[in-house]
Structure 1
Amino acid sequence: MHLVLDTHGPLHAQLTRALKAAILDGQLARGSRLPATRWLASELGLSRNTVLAAYEQLRAEGFVDARVGSGSFVALSQPQRQLRGVEIDDVAPQSAYARRARLYNERMPGGHIPGMRYSFQYGVPFVNPALTTAWAQALSRAARYTDPSYPAAQGLPALREAVCDYLARRRGVRVPASDVLIVAGTQQALALSARVLLDAGDVAAIEEPHYNAIRTALQVHGARLLPVPVDAQGLRCDLLPEREAPKLLCVTPSHQFPTGAVMSLSRRMALLEYARRHRSWIFEDDYDGEFRYDARPLSALRSLDEAGRVIYVGTFSKTLFPALRLGYLVVPPALRGDFLVAKRMADFGTPAIEQAALAAFITDGGFERHLRRSAKALCQRRAALLEGLHACSAGRLDITDSRAGMHLAVWLRGVGHDAGEALIAQAGARGLGLYSIAPYYLQPPDRAGLLMGYAGLSAIEIRQALAVFAACLDELLPVTSA
């Protein structure tokens, strides 16, 4: 307990005032036990009689209650003052980075709509009760034997080895553990890439449309953005500039976000050749490449890279849960030292206990067992969503089925942005959370579209939610009989 005596008057009076202040300011909560008199006397360098006198005065004034055999407790009836924080007027951003951060943070689209009974929000994790139990056990075991000192900035060797083995078997990426860097999710991976590869004012290419958190991170860093359109075969490599080529190209080739397109082999090879020719770097975000429902997961772009231009990024936020905040970078050997220094300067390393738990979870097969369960459940939810959307479409919806991931893009045929916002508002009034696709574009399209995530709803809940959606759709776009 932090008590300061004011040096005015007898010591017992000084201690009485200090204890009163602690009670009134909330440092000692109502009902809490006061320290034992012997301990407090020793802590403050006072005699025990001085402490006893102060406690007696507090009891006399009603601040504390004495309980025989238990000690003295703050009186429950004593009103307390609100804690007062230090009030500092808001000041202007102190750096160019802070100015950009404030500006672009204000432009970030809103997230979860509160109060919804059903929500098609993208990014809500798939809940697997078996995972919760298995992860708790893995954490408990890891906590008992993990070295309590600072972890290696690059990541625990056991986790890096487990990631290498997993990537070789599942994603066709064969690299040594020395090329793997453990990070706090995709956002830190991008932040480190920007610090290592870009100066403020450098050009970075992004897909159009794209994941808006990647766009914002690059804007805050000070990069000049070059949006490159995406079609059914992925990034339009033919539209990349020959003059002033971007230093960094951010792509989601295995499952383009948010359209769901898969980059064709010819486009992949063209992109790799472009990066080799212009000495550009490719940031490959493999955010949910594990979840495919018609075939095995596709090999990553990194597996085709012979020139060492691809920085491959994976995350456990989608495959396990976002709260874990663990991901990894596969870094070209030429950049390994720079990335390691950037990581060390950022945070000295990712939490070691979680790393150790995850390494064991992967090695003993728990991770892949979880993936199989997740893929099966997500396939059922996707089927329920597709079935319901087709049932209520009546020619009013264009449904983009990517056969992968945890979301669908759904377009309202012949409907503009304002009408789409009206549908979202109408659904919200009925307890259904719908989300526009427009925030994922630098230049939003003229037609209305929805990004419909299905990981957070069961198949039954999806069918119930679509009944609400169909009713809202009928009110906005009534089906006319021929």
Structure 2
Amino acid sequence: MQIAELKGIALNSEEALQRQLYRYISGRVSEGIWREGLRLPASRKIASELGISRNTVTAALGQLCAEGYLSSRPGSGIYVGAGFDRAHPDAVHWDKSCELPELSAYGLSLAREAQAGGDKQLPFTLGVPDLKAFPLRAWNRLQRQQQNRRRLLGYDGYQGFEPLREALAGYLRVSRQVRCSASQIIITQGAQQAISLCAQVLLDRGEEVLVENPGYSGARRALQALDAKLTAVNVDAGGLTSSALPAQTNAKLMYVTPSHHYPLGGIMSAPERLRLLDWAARTGTWLIEDDYDSEFHFHGHPIAALQGMSSQSPVLYMGSFSKTLFPALRIGYLVLPTPLVAPFLNAKQHMDGESPLLQQATVAQFIEEGHFQRHLRQMRVLYREKWLHLSALIESRLAGLAQPVAESAGMHLVLRIPGVDDVELTREFVAAGFGGTPLSSYYIGGEKPRGIALGFANSDAAQRAAGIECLRSLIKDQQRR
């Protein structure tokens, strides 16, 4: 090889010289410009010609030899390696006459969905708490303390950090009347993983699952990932009623939000809850109880969990800290009947292993020192004020245009808006700088009511006023079209 061939390297100071030399030589080899058996100049000559350190050249050539682009022959020199024609990723070109490999049926259904846009936290985006009100100073202090504990740098167990499970069990027994011990709790990577675990352990592919209609689309997606057959159980503004349940069913599983229906906000009465438990026991159906937004009731105490109403019930209780603390925490939990703990632990091990230990330890101490309960009390007061303000704005500015489905709980409010294209309405609303979700997206099949769900927790008074004015204008624009 003539050393002149190396003069094509345009070195710069923005990237490591070793990396630039490596990339240049590997590219010449993989593109077939330098053929098998071609001898390279000595490292000293290359370094002299390029004006760089010989150590830099030696390191680059050593890496190229290790990866097979070059080969070193003792006493002879360094040569271009064998079998690297078109082997470099940049040299591989997909035949445009061929189609890409097919997606699964589930993958195709996801491809048809609109982009989730979960990276945006606009005013009225659902599921985002008021992060400005979070006691960050106390949290940071506790996290710094935990960072100094060496035992948190290793592994701990698939079930979750025991002090967190103990603290959580105590809290759930008192606040949510859940019947549980720490041994029945599994810590998960948020609520979504909890649902996925339930689907993996309890369902075979193609089996029937009952879901609320309307209902949480994230739960439906997790169930559909196992090719479950979803059967809708209609829910009205008052919540799920036993009269909507099928007398007989082949379903092994039903997903419910009895304490605060998502998204309409209804609350199942105590008699209806007991009827649901009796129905589940009679039909042999597991119930996944998602305790969504259960902590934020603005009149009276939070509604007790379904799971705690019977000493023996086929209920798997789930929750997370995404709304009560903050979404980025990604810590959820499952409370399981004792016989299910072992198979669920094995499933979690195969799925992703352990949950982050440092965050678990911080949450445990946050609960133990009383910060969690104080924070919840403060947020109930704050969210009630926001809910009242938003309700007043809707009553005064959207009268005759939209009908609120107003329950005194949660972090969002649903508006029914007849006669609009709620998908387009929401798209325009987001384009104007506000969040929201079309009501029709929560329904399965049939006639879908139109409207929008608005999360008010992460908004201030000015944003709420501006958002409702914007919504009023957009609704009127659609009506004029």
**For this structure pair, what is the TM-score category when the shorter chain's length is used for normalisation?**
0.7 to 0.9
2:126 corresponds to which of 114, 122, 143: 122
Q: Is the 8 A contact 2:440 2:449 kept in 1?
A: no
2:227 and 2:140 map into 1 onto residues whose CA distance is: 40
Q: Is the 8 A contact 2:209 2:231 kept in 1?
A: yes
Q: Is the 8 A contact 1:254 1:300 kept in 2?
A: yes
Unaligned runs of 5+ in 1: 1-5, 28-49, 65-82
Amino acid at match of 1:459: A
Q: Say whether 1:23 aligns with 2:28.
A: no
Query: Number of aligned pairs?
Result: 419
What does the per-residue CA deviation read over 1:159-200, in whole Å, with 9 as the maximum and x for residues that have no partner?
000000110121011311111111111111111111111000
1:85 and 1:142 map into 2 onto residues whose CA distance is: 45
Residue 47 (structure 1) aligns with = none
Comparing 139-148 with 340-349, which one deviates more in the overlay? 139-148
Residue 354 (structure 2) aligns with = 349
Give the drift of 1:373.
2.4
Do the aligned partners of residues 434 and 242 (structure 1) sit closer, same or farther apart at CA in structure 2, a change above 3 Å counting? closer
Where do 1:185-334 residues align within 5 Å? 185-334=190-339
Where do 1:54-69 residues align within 5 Å? 57-59=49-51
Do the aligned partners of residues 139 and 243 (structure 1) sit closer, same or farther apart at CA in structure 2, a change above 3 Å counting? same
Q: Say whether 1:440 aligns with 2:432.
A: no
Residue 143 (structure 1) aligns with = 147
What does the per-residue CA deviation read over 1:335-382, in whole Å, with 9 as the maximum and x for residues that have no partner?
111111111222221111111111111111111222222222212211
Amino acid at match of 1:136: N
Q: Share of identical aligned residues, percent?
A: 33
Do the aligned partners of residues 364 and 108 (structure 1) sit closer, same or farther apart at CA in structure 2, a change above 3 Å counting? farther
Residue 416 (structure 1) aligns with = 419
1:240 and 1:308 map into 2 onto residues whose CA distance is: 17
RMSD: 3.3
Residue 371 (structure 2) aligns with = 366
What does the per-residue CA deviation read over 1:121-179, in whole Å, with 9 as the maximum and x for residues that have no partner?
21223213553333332222212113322221111110000000110121011311111
Amino acid at match of 2:20: I
1:60 and 1:310 map into 2 onto residues whose CA distance is: 69
1:376 corresponds to which of 363, 381, 399: 381
1:155 corresponds to which of 141, 150, 160: 160
1:453 corresponds to which of 445, 455, 463: 455
1:92 corresponds to which of 94, 101, 105: 101
1:26 and 1:460 map into 2 onto residues whose CA distance is: 54
1:114 and 1:334 map into 2 onto residues whose CA distance is: 38
Do the aligned partners of residues 227 and 356 (structure 1) sit closer, same or farther apart at CA in structure 2, a change above 3 Å counting? same
Q: Is the 8 A contact 1:120 1:435 kept in 2?
A: no
Amino acid at match of 1:437: L
Q: Is the 8 A contact 1:432 1:468 kept in 2?
A: no
Do the aligned partners of residues 196 and 395 (structure 1) sit closer, same or farther apart at CA in structure 2, a change above 3 Å counting? same
* Equivalent position SS for 1:377: helix
Scaled by the length of structure 1, the TM-score of the pair is 0.78
Residue 34 (structure 1) aligns with = none
* Equivalent position SS for 1:409: strand
What does the per-residue CA deviation read over 1:378-412, in whole Å, with 9 as the maximum and x for residues that have no partner?
12211121111001123222111111111111012
Amino acid at match of 1:435: T
1:471 corresponds to which of 466, 470, 473: 473
1:384 and 1:340 map into 2 onto residues whose CA distance is: 45
1:107 and 1:180 map into 2 onto residues whose CA distance is: 36
2:106 and 2:313 map into 1 onto residues whose CA distance is: 32
Do the aligned partners of residues 368 and 100 (structure 1) sit closer, same or farther apart at CA in structure 2, a change above 3 Å counting? farther
Give the drift of 1:317.
0.8
Q: Say whether 1:104 aligns with 2:101.
A: no
2:271 and 2:110 map into 1 onto residues whose CA distance is: 37
Do the aligned partners of residues 24 and 449 (structure 1) sit closer, same or farther apart at CA in structure 2, a change above 3 Å counting? farther
